[in-house]
Amino acid sequence: MRSQFVLSEVWIGLRRNLTMTMALIVVVAISLSLLGTGLLFVKQVDKTSSLWQSKVEMSIYFCIPTSDNQPCQANGAATQTDKSQLESQLAGMAQVQHVYYVSQQQAYQEFVQYYAGQPLVTYTTQSDIPDSLQVKLKDATADFPVVNSAVSGAPGVANVVNDVQVLGSFYKLLDTARNSVVIIALMLLVAAGMLVANTIRLAAFNRRRETAIMRLVGASNFYIQLPFLLEGAIAGLVGWLISDVLVVAAKSFVLDALEQNQSLSVGLSLGDLLEVMAFTLLAALLLSGATSFLTLRRYLRT
C-alpha cells in the first residue's frame, strides 16, 4: 500500500511538472555527455602520452643530393664514412640508450604508409626522402641539448629534430581542448543542480497540502521526501541514458576518427567506455539525489 502511494505521488509529480522535468533531463543529458566525452578525451591523451613518451627519440637526418640547406650544399651528400662515424660516436655517449639507422628505402616506405591516398605521395620519390639516425635518449628532455651540441654541424648532418618538442606542442593543444570540455561540462552540471533544486522545490510547493496532511498523520520526513527524491532520480537516470548515447556517438565519430587520422593517437577500449559510463551514472545519482535531499531538507524544515 505504501509503495503504491509513493509511486502514484511520483507519477503525479512528473506529470504536473512535465516541462521542468523535460528541461532537467535535457540539461543533465548534455552536461553528462560533455563530462563523459571530456573524460574519454583525458584517457586518450594520457594513454597516447604514455605510449609515445616511451618511444620518443631524436632524429638526425643526413644530407642527400637534393638537400637545399646551406651545410649540405657546401659539403655535399653524407658519405658512408660520415654515417658510420656519427653512429659510433652516438653509441659511445652516456646519454644515448640506443641508436639505429633508417635507410632511404625504409623512410620512404613509412612515408608512403603515413600519407597513403594523398597526392603528395605521387610527386615524391625515394631519393627525396633522407636517411637518418634515430636516437633513443635515456632522458629525452635533459639529454637532448648535450647530444644535439655534439652532432650539430657534424659532416653529413642536415638537421636534428627533437621529437619531444613536436609531441609537446601536440599534447599541449590536446590538453587545452580537453580542459575546455571538462570546464564547460562542470558549469553545466552546476546549472543542472540548480535546475534540480528548482524542480523539486516547485513540486514540493504544489503538493504542500498533501505534505501537511502526511505530517499530521505522523509520516516520517523520509517518507514525505521519498517521492520527490525518486522524481529527481528518475530524471537523472533518463538524462544519464541519453548522455550514454551521446558519449558513444562522440567516441565513434570524434575520438575514433582522431585515432584513424592521427598516427600519434591511441584508441580507447570498451573498458574505458564502460568506466566513464559508470562514473557519469554516479555523477547523475549524486547530482539528482543529493541536490533533491538538500533542497527538501531545507524546504520541509519545521
pLDDT in tens, 259-277: 655 554 566 778 888 998 9
On the question of pLDDT at 1 being above 50, the answer is no
* Contact indicator for 207, 296 with CB cutoff of 8 Å: no
- Where in the chain do CATH 3.30.70.3040 domains reside? 55-163
Which range scores top for mean pLDDT: 179-183, 264-268, 276-280?
A: 276-280
Task: pLDDT band for 11, please (50, 70, 90 cuts).
Answer: low
On the question of pLDDT at 6 being above 60, the answer is no
Task: pLDDT band for 67, please (50, 70, 90 cuts).
Answer: confident
Tell me: the pLDDT tens digits for 186-243?
Answer: 887 787 778 777 777 776 676 667 666 666 666 666 666 677 777 777 888 888 999 9
Tell me: the pLDDT tens digits for 93-139?
Answer: 999 988 989 999 999 998 888 777 777 788 888 989 999 999 988 88
State how far the Cα of 138 lies from the Cα of 265, in Å rounded to an integer: 23
On the question of pLDDT at 17 being above 70, the answer is no
Q: What pLDDT does 157 receive? A: 92
Q: What pLDDT does 105 receive? A: 93
Strands laid side by side in the 96-102 sheet: 96-102, 132-137, 58-62, 157-162
More confident residue, 75 or 85: 85
Average pLDDT over residues 147-163: 88
Average pLDDT over residues 5-32: 71
Task: pLDDT band for 92, please (50, 70, 90 cuts).
Answer: very high
Q: What pLDDT does 271 receive? A: 85
Share of the chain above pLDDT 70, in %: 77
State how far the Cα of 132 lies from the Cα of 59, in Å rounded to an integer: 7
Q: Residue 295's closest CA among 194, 216, 218, 212?
A: 194
Q: What is the DSSP letter of 128?
A: G
More confident residue, 169 or 250: 250
State how far the Cα of 231 lies from the Cα of 224, in Å rounded to an integer: 13
> pTM, whole model, 2 decimals?
0.60
Q: What is the CATH number of domain 55-163?
A: 3.30.70.3040
The overall average pLDDT reported for the chain is: 79
* Contact indicator for 108, 129 with CB cutoff of 8 Å: yes
More confident residue, 85 or 45: 85
Grid coordinates in use for 191?
A: 546549472
Beta strands 96-102 and 132-137 are antiparallel
C-alpha distances out from residue 137 to 46, 61, 94, 198, Å: 21, 16, 9, 58
State how far the Cα of 175 lies from the Cα of 42, in Å rounded to an integer: 8
Q: What pLDDT does 288 receive? A: 79
